[in-house]
Amino acid sequence: ATHFVIDGLKAEIEGKEILKGINLEIKGGEIHAIMGPNGTGKSTLASALMGHPKYEVTGGSATLDGEDLLEMGVDERALAGLFLAMQYPSEIPGVTNSDFLRSALNARLGEGNEISLIKFIRKMEGKMKELEMNPEFAHRYLNEGFSGGEKKRNEILQMMLLDPKIVVLDEIDSGLDIDALRIVSNGVNAMRSEDRGFLIITHYQRLLNYIKPDFVHVMMQGRIVKSGGPELAERLENEGYDWVKEELGIVD
Ligand code: ADP
Ligand code: MG
Ligand code: MG
What residues contact residue 32 under an 8 Å CB cut-off, 6+ apart?
A: 24, 26, 197, 198, 199, 200, 213, 214, 215, 216, 217
pLDDT in tens, the chain (252 residues): 899 999 999 999 999 999 999 999 999 999 999 999 999 999 999 999 999 999 999 999 999 999 999 999 988 999 899 999 988 888 888 999 999 999 999 988 988 999 999 999 999 999 999 999 999 999 999 999 898 889 999 999 999 999 999 999 999 998 888 999 999 999 999 999 999 999 999 988 889 999 999 999 999 999 999 999 999 999 999 999 999 999 988 877
Give 28 Cα–ligand 3 centroid separation in angstroms: 24
42 Cβ closer than 6 Å to some ligand 1 atom: yes
Task: Tell whether ligand 1 has an atom less than 6 A from the beta carbon of residue 13.
Answer: yes
66 CA → ligand 2 middle, Å: 30
ipTM score here?
A: 0.94
User: Which ligand 1 atom sits closest to the C-alpha of 46?
Assistant: 6
Which of ligand 1's atoms lies nearest the C-alpha of 222? 10
Burial class (CB in 10 A: 0-12, 13-18, 19+), 79: middle
CB 54 near ligand 1, within 6 Å: yes
- CA of residue 41 to ligand 3 center, whole Å: 7
97 lines ligand 1 (CB under 6 A): no
